[in-house]
Amino acid sequence: MNNKMNEHLISQCLKIIKGKLKARKMTYLDIAEILAVSENTVKRMLNAKDIGFDRLLMLAELCEMQLDTLLAEAKERPKTCNFFTPEQDEAFYRMPNLWHYFSEIFYYSKSPEAIKKENNITDLSTYRYLRALEKLGLLELLPNNNIKLLVATPIGFSSDSLVLKTHIARFIKSTCDTVISGEKSPQHFMWVKPMRMPLTLFKKMNEELVSTINKYTEVAEIAYVNDLTLPEFQTTLVGHPLDLGDYKDADIIDIEEI
């Protein structure tokens, strides 16, 4: 795989874009002038089998569309997200290795045979993993350890999930360890800002921040989730009433010199 999106998704995106441009009665020449490129370049862009993220974003903006909306229409993904049941969540929390096994099958489309070879486990262990997942209602176990998944994306953990809370704690520790290390690169950033403001304004700010992150998360989940050649990034958004415990500023005292 490469850094570009799959051909089917691109094709659907470009069909939507061309329909929007046609409805706006925009010609190739109009688009070329706006983008400061030639008509031939516009024609190639709108009929390409692959296209860079930047150009797709540019075309979406030309149609006054958010990129996440465009991708959602193109993929026609379900409108709702299902959640793992409390029983499934408890099993994954109690047996993290079972969650890892299921993730390899479900999210990375690996076969039980491939997982067995990669992890050097026995046929009996493979069977036990699959039987446990079958008992949880996540798959149907067929002859020769073949499987039929009984769940589909999008699916995730509910807000009170034990697994989710464990993962959040791990991610926050990773964030703290990384930013405190002082490592600097274009991929590292930290923004910590105590602020005094009305609660209503604080809530509005949070809604806008969450909306922005959700927009790019949806783009990532639709277009790039299966491209294992791409880097993974962590963005942690945290807001709360400030409580520094017993900490206080140093006393202002009489001093003779500085």
pTM for the model stands at: 0.54
The hierarchical CATH code for the domain 80-185 is 1.10.10
Nearest to 236 by CA among 184, 166, 189: 189
pLDDT digits (tens, 9 = 90+) for 85-144: 999 999 999 999 999 999 999 988 899 999 999 999 999 999 999 999 999 999 999 998
* pLDDT tens-digit series, residues 33-42: 888 888 888 8
- Give the model's pLDDT for residue 131: 95
d(CA 141, CA 150): 10
Q: Decide if pLDDT at 230 tops 60.
A: yes
Q: Residues of the chain with pLDDT > 70: what percent?
A: 91
Q: Which of 27-36, 187-196, 223-232 has the lowest mean pLDDT?
A: 223-232
- What's residue 173's pLDDT? 86
Q: What phi, psi does 141 have (nearest 5°)?
A: -85, 125
Helix axes 96-106, 112-119, angle to 10 degrees: 130
Residue whose token pair is 């079958």: 134
Collapsed DSSP state (helix, strand, coil) of residue 26: coil
For β-strands 82-83 and 155-156, DSSP reports them as parallel
Q: Indicate if the pLDDT at residue 3 is higher than 50.
A: no
Residue 45, token pair as written in the block: 């862009």
Distance in angstroms (rounded) separating the CA atoms of residues 142 and 28: 54
Helix H segments across the chain? Answer: 7-23, 28-35, 39-46, 53-62, 67-75, 86-94, 96-106, 112-119, 123-135, 162-180, 199-223
Mean pLDDT of 68-81: 68
Three-class SS state of 241: coil
Domain range annotation of the chain: 1-76+191-240, 80-185
Return all residues near 223 (Cβ < 8 A) that are at least 6 apart.
Answer: 5, 9, 53, 71
The reported pLDDT for the residue numbered 1 is: 35
80 has pLDDT over 70: no
Per cent of the chain over pLDDT 90 is 31
